[in-house]
Amino acid sequence: MRTSVKAMPIVEAIHVLAAATVFGTIFIVDLRLLGLPDTRRAVTVVCREMLRLTWGAFFVALCAGLLMFAANAHTYYGNTAFRLKMLALLGAGVNMLLFHRLTFRNVAAWDQNAPVPMAARVAGATSMILWVSVIFLARWIGFTKGYDFRIPPNTHINFQF
Amino acid sequence: MRLVHAFAEWLQASSASNTIQSVSWVIPLLQSIHILMIGVVFVSSLMIALRVLGLMRVDQSFEAVWHRFAPWMWSALIVMAGTGLLLVLGEPIREFTALSFWIKMLLLAAGVTSTALYGHTLKSGARARVRGSQEFSAGAKAMSILLVALWLSVVFLGRAIAYDREVWGALSLHA
């Protein structure tokens, strides 16, 4: 893919679009957890309708991201912004898991027209911060990764044209 | 085109452009905000489109869905325009000499105008609805799919600016 100049912009565009969709859809859930714009729409309904789209977009972003990583694995692996992005992604995953396993259990008590408990608000705010960080760090990779021009070992280059 | 290039060169040499270029974190920061806003605009328009198609929030009226998402969409579009303008100011030659940039601007103008008209028509008119129901006509549904496709194209063209010659070949303005 690294050598196919046509593939790179397409895969990158798909990755950006899918990542933006993940952020946009999860942002709606996070806002609801903060009680915004109001508490009239049930948390369970918002989660059900948005998270389908989030997971779909996440899967697309993951596939495109894996292709980008495979094309430049060595450069990405050594890049600090990339490592921090993976850490932020992991953090977002842990935050979601904790929310679903602990806070979401008694959602019936605050599902609709009721104040959102502090634990859910914290989960929503944490999710927002982590996903914004993921996007910022991801864009930062492009400005810091440089290019790997090293010739792989055992490659024979014929300089006699 | 020579005039546009001369203007881009003049802009690139300006002190405002130099400031954006010289501080290493400004362009990635602006691009990140730009991408976050793409997420808000795209998902908001998707929600509205899915409501018209009867696939999302069918328990709510179209007006309620429009009022929930349209303000987010317009506000994010304004921030996107602001960060976009600063990005153009920072790298005018890169942008003005990319065919993708000009097609993106055209589609953006078409997207903003048709979204405003579409929202206005759907809110005000029973014309867009199947008589006596909340169901929308085939035309309104087709328009909602077209608008989502339009926003998708805008995002693709935005990423393609960095690869103008590779994407457009002989048509590229870089050549």
Mean pLDDT for chain A overall: 90
Tokens of B142: 């087709």
* Residue that has been written with the tokens 């899915």 in this structure: B50
**Mean confidence (pLDDT) of chain B:** 89
Record: contact A139-B162, CB cut-off 8 A: no
> Out of B27, B39, B56, whose CB is closest to A21?
B39
Burial class (CB in 10 A: 0-12, 13-18, 19+), A77: exposed
Distance CA(B148)–CA(B79), nearest Å, equals 20
Phi-psi region of A113 (alpha: psi -120 to 50; beta: other; left: phi over 0): left
Among B31, B38, B43, most A C-beta atoms within 10 A, so best to mutate, is: B43
For residues B60 and A46, give the distance between their C-alpha atoms in angstroms, rounded to a whole number. Answer: 13
Average pLDDT over residues A42-59: 96
Which of chain A's residues have a Cβ under 8 Å away from the Cβ of B47? 28
- Contact residues on chain A for B46, CB-CB shorter than 8 A: 21, 24, 53
Per-residue pLDDT tens digits for B102-153: 999 999 999 999 999 988 888 876 556 665 567 888 989 999 999 999 999 9
Predicted local confidence at residue B123, as pLDDT: 80
- A130 inside 8 A of chain B by CB: no
B29–A136: do the CB atoms touch at under 8 Å?
Answer: yes
CB A20 within 8 A of CB B32: no
- Within 8 A of B29 by CB-CB distance, chain A residues are 136
Q: What chain A residue is nearest to B76 in terms of C-alpha separation? A: A24
Question: Does residue A1 surpass a pLDDT of 90?
Answer: no
User: What are B56's two structure tokens?
Assistant: 């999302």
Query: What predicted TM-score, i.e. pTM, was given to this entire model?
Result: 0.89
Contact B38 A12 (CB under 8 A): no
pLDDT at position A124 over 80: yes
At residue B1, does pLDDT exceed 80? Answer: no
- DSSP secondary structure letters along chain A: -TT-TTHHHHHHHHHHHHHHHHHHHHHHHHHHHTT-S-S-S-HHHHHHHHHHHHHHHHHHHHHHHHHHHHHTHHHHHT-HHHHHHHHHHHHHHHHHHHHHHTGGGGGGGTSSSSPPPHHHHHHHHHHHHHHHHHHHHHHHHHHH-----PPPTT-------
Residues B43, A8: C-beta atoms closer than 8 Å = no
The size of chain A, in residues, is 161
Can you name the residues that pair with A106 across neighbouring β-strands? none
- Stated as kind and residue range, the H or E segment containing B151 is helix B138-160
pLDDT at A115: 95
Domain regions of chain A by residue span: 7-144
Q: By a Cβ cutoff of 8 Å, what residues of chain B touch chain A?
A: 24, 27-29, 31-32, 35-36, 38-40, 42-44, 46-47, 56-57, 68, 152, 155-156, 158-160, 162-163, 166-167
Task: Measure A42 CA to nearest chain B CA, in Å.
Answer: 12
A74-83, A136-145, B70-79: range with highest mean pLDDT: B70-79
Please, what's the b/e burial string for B118-138 (b: 16 or more CB within 10 A of its CB; e: otherwise)? Answer: bbeebeeeeebbeeeeeebbe
- The answer to whether residue A104 scores a pLDDT higher than 80 is yes
pLDDT at B173 over 90: no
User: A37 preceded by cis ω (within 30°)?
Assistant: yes
